Every structure is written in C-alpha cells, then in structure tokens.
Structure 1
Amino acid sequence: MCEAPRLRCDAGAGEAVAAADVDVVTTRGRRRIPAHSSVLATASPVLGCILERRLRKDRESGKKAGRSVVRIRGVTDDAAAAFVRLLYAGRCGDGEEEDMEKHAVQVLVLAHAYQVPWLKRACEGAIGARLTADSVVDVLQLAALCDAPRLHLRCTRLLAKEFAAVERTEAWRFLQENDPWQELQLLQRLHEADMRRRKWRRKRAEQRVYVELSEAMDCLDHICTEGCTEVGPAGRAPAPSPCARYATCRGLQLLIRHFSQCHRKSCARCQRMWQLLRLHSALCDRPDRCNTPLCTRFKQKEQEKAAVKAGDDGDKWGLLVKKVKAARVFSSLANRKQMSSTSQC
C-alpha cells in the first residue's frame, strides 16, 4: 500500500495552505481545496501525469510558475474533499471511517478514474459491507463500470442468495423496463452459478460414495483376514471387540451372513455383496492366496475380459475402480497426517 506524505502536524493551517502548490477545484468551481503536488503525484499516477503536463505547458509558454489547478468533476464537493483527505492519509483507518461511510460510492469512482488501487479496494469493502437487496442492482452496475471484481462477486452472491427479495425492488423493475439485455445477462450468470453449485454438490456426493466404498473394502479385508465380532475367516474365531469403523463393519457383517444363507436368485442384497467382492478383487494386490471369498475367481474373470477387450461395462467398472483407489490413497494420507499431528501434540 502506498503511504502518501502527510502534512506536518506542527505547522499551522496558514503555513499548510501557503506551502500548497496545487488547487483542487470541484464541480462548477464552487470549492478550491489547497494541496501539494508531491502528495497527489505520489498517490495517483493519473494526477501525477496531469500535474507534469501542466508544468511542462507553463514552461513552454514562458508563463511564470504558479499554482496548478486540478479539476475533479462529476462528484459532490464533499466527496472530492474526502478523496483528497484519503490521499493524504494514505490509508483507511479509524479517522477516515466517516468519509468512507458517507462518500464510499463516489470515492470508488474517483479511485478508479485516478488509479488508486488501495483506495479502490477499501471502497469495495466499505460498499460491500453495507450491501442490501435494495441496493445490489445499482451497486452491481457500478462494479461493472469501475472494474471492481471483488464487489461484483459480492453482489452476485447476494443476488443469488436473496433473488426473491431483489425481484420485488424498484431497481429490478426499472432494469426490466429499461435494460432487458442487462437483465438477461444477470439471469444467465445466476443460472451458471446455480449449475456450478449443483455440479459441486454432485461431485461431493460422488466422492463421499467412493470414500464409503474404500472404507467397506478395508472392513471386508479386516473381516476376512482377522475377523470381527460375529464374522471371521474359516477356522478362526471372530475378534471379541469391534473395530474402529463399527457402523460400516457391522453392516458388512450382516450382509455377509445374509449372503451365506440366502438362496434366492434375484436378491438385491446378494447382488450388492457380489459387487463388493468383485470390487475387492480389482483392488487386491496380494500375489499369494487371498482370504476373501471368490477373490481369485474374480481376478481370473477380469483377466479374461481384459484379454478380449471389454466393452462399455468394463470401461465404467475400470473408472469406478480408479476412483475408489484414489479415495483409498487420500484417506490413508489423511489418516497419516492426523496420526502425526496427534503424536506431536
């Protein structure tokens, strides 16, 4: 952030005015604000170019050097004075809150026109903090004109969140009657934002499914290798205490018991168990014999399918296997990170 030079605190008002070499003239020349060219040129490159051009013009014409005049038009006298005070302050602290509260919109226009980035960001924050459903349409157009992306994003979020309230405002009705093209663009942005939210939620739900399948694979391997509460490998008693993932492990044990006792050909629960066993075989990397039932058989079938180039079903199944593998990797990394942070504590 550019810290502008400040007036000396020990100098009187008369000395400060006498030391000034620039007059900032507001709309219609009704107010002249004494300032220093060094302060204005340091704070704003545009004001620096204007002052340099005026000085060069005076030199070429042979005119005696005097006070330069900088005209700030299009805003009220109080807003122009607040803009100059903020340039002198070089920041927006506690002493400048009143100026930002009263003139933030007009100061934003001036900060954009005279290229003062820190002041522009401060105005975006001040306007965004007081944003309401009644003012969001006007502020959105202001953000587009002043190239204020942060303020534009804040307006878009409020518009999407409270669109029903915005539709009832006079500003929205005025926009519908006088600028239907702008209305169409806003509606398109809202539709795109809604589609992005739905896509993100769908991806989160899919990722949650992959994580649950990864957890089920770990529990299946745990049950068939070590045993857990009620179900264990052949010839070995189940473990007396439940594992850490009790909910998933318990449901999988009930599914295994049902699978071993059910004799119906079209059973949805048995079909789910067949799919879990097939998924385990695709993820299993043991070179020797695996304790999980049907693992070797499924591996042989997958090798046969790969030899004859499986169709679309094989492609979808391969994608599912890749997603579950990635979820297992991320889960293991998260568990390691959590264990390391716990050990450090």
Structure 2
Amino acid sequence: MEQDIQTWVKLAAYTGGGLSIGFGAIGAAIGEGYTAAQANAAVSRNPALAGDVFKSMLVGQAIAESASIFSLVVAMILLFSNIPAGSYVTVAAVFAAGLAMGFGAIGSGVGAGFPAGAACTGLVRQPSMSAKLTTNMLIGSAVCQTPSIFALVISFILIFSDFATHPLWPAWGAILGAGLASGLSAIGSGIGGGIVAGASSEGIARQPTSVSPVTNIMLLGQAIAQTPAILGLLVAFILIFKEFGATETIAPAMALLGSGLCMGIGGIGPGIGEGIASSGGVKWIARNEKEIGTLTRTMLVGMAVAESTAIYAMVISLVLIFVV
C-alpha cells in the first residue's frame, strides 16, 4: 500500500519517540540503583545517620533522573507534535532525534550515580562534612548531565529544522549520522565524568582538608572527559548544516552515515578512559596534597593519550565527510 510523506514522518516519529525514552531509561535506572546500593552500605555502617543518608540518596537519584526526563520530553514532542512533512529527509530527522536523545541520556544517567553513591558512603565517614560532600556531589552530577544536554540540542535541531530543500540522497545519511555522532559519543563522556566525580566525593570524605584542590581537579578532569562528546557535537553540526549535492548513488549517503557512526562509537572509550585516568589523580591528590603538581601533570598526560583515539575517530569522520 502506497504511503505519503506525512505517514512516514509519523511512523519515524513514533519509533524515534519510543527509542528516545527506551534507551534514555537505561542510564538513569542504573545510576539510581547504584546510588541506592551505596546508601544501604552507608546505613549499615552507621544506622544513626540513616535519615541524612536517605536525603542524600534522593537528591542524587533526582539528578541522575534528569537525562531520562530529557528523553521523555523529546519522546512527548515526537509523539504529539504536528511535524511538517516537507521532505522524506524529515523522516530520517525525527528518527535520528530519538536516537540522539536516547543514546545521549545513557552515560549521564549512569555517571550521575557515582558521585551520589560516594556522597552517601562519605557522609557516614565524615558527618561533619555533609554540606561540602553534598555540594561536591551536586556539582559533579550536574557536569555529568552536559553530554545529554548536547544530545538534547541536536534532537531539537533535528525536530524543528526545515529539511525541505535537502536532497534525499545523500541527506538522509548525514542526518542519521548526526544523531548517532552526538548520541553515542555522549555515553563515554557521561560515564567518565561520573567516575571522576565519584572519586572526588570519596577523596573529600577520606581527607576533609582537601576539598578545594580535589574539587578543582575534579572539574578539570570532567572538562577534559567532555571532549569526546564535544567532538561528536561538532561532527553532528557539520553533518546537519553542510550542504551536500544531490546524487543517485548510495556511496555518499553511506559515507556520511559512517562518519557519524565513526565519531559516535569512537568517542565512547576515550570518555570513559579519561574519567578513569582523572579519578586516579583526584583520589591520590586527596591523600597526598604535597604532590599535587606531579599528580596533576601525570593525570593530564594520561588523559591526553586516552583522548588521542577520539581524535583519530574525528579525523576519519571528517575524511568521510569532505574527502571520500
């Protein structure tokens, strides 16, 4: 049975909406579950502080929930908005919007669980540091949401942009590639940022006098761990806004789709690896502040080497866009 463009747009929007909240629920649930597990461990050590731990757990879980709320918003827009169907490229765009937000929420949800869990266990070790532990958790968890916000931006651009003038071939490949580049690359950065923040909360609990240097190094490490998601965002912008000439061959569209996959998948490992490297720096600076210079230098070099693989992915991604 022959279908018009509007029917295909609706089909893609419904599928994209389902994928948005379906994938988006994964990370938040894992992060919240991890937080609850650590809260139980904390209460078992000091039952007298159960009330404070419970409050800290709920705050941490609320932040971990943020990314899935972004996914829910995108899903609701896709399901209930009257999206103009000016071109079959719009079909790819609304589907890619769901993929971008769904994948993009996974890492942020998981990552936010680490500082929340560490804050709960740290609270029973250092009850007097409750306020500073909560502040550190809030800052660290908030930064973890940055990659999901990048994905949200790309999703909104894909939903609300007019693609009527874009040729179906190869634009559909570019649009799908943009969603995958932003969504997949956000996974590693979200998890990596959470690993750093978790180590920071743990370090403050072990050595309360180290709050200032540990928080500063945490933010530095998180900023660097965000770079794979930023590279994914950059590739997504290029794929969305660069004009591609019409063609009747499949190779250009597949090259553009491959570009998004390359940058998206290629950004997962570096984001997590940089988070692990940075967590080591944060952890040991808390225990040995006198060597902060040496430890920070080692951390930065290690993170730079881990970042190199994301740069390799970006190079190949750009070759697929501009050369192939």
- Please report the TM-score for the alignment, with normalisation by the length of structure 1: 0.22
- Please report the TM-score for the alignment, with normalisation by the length of structure 2: 0.23
More helix by share: 2
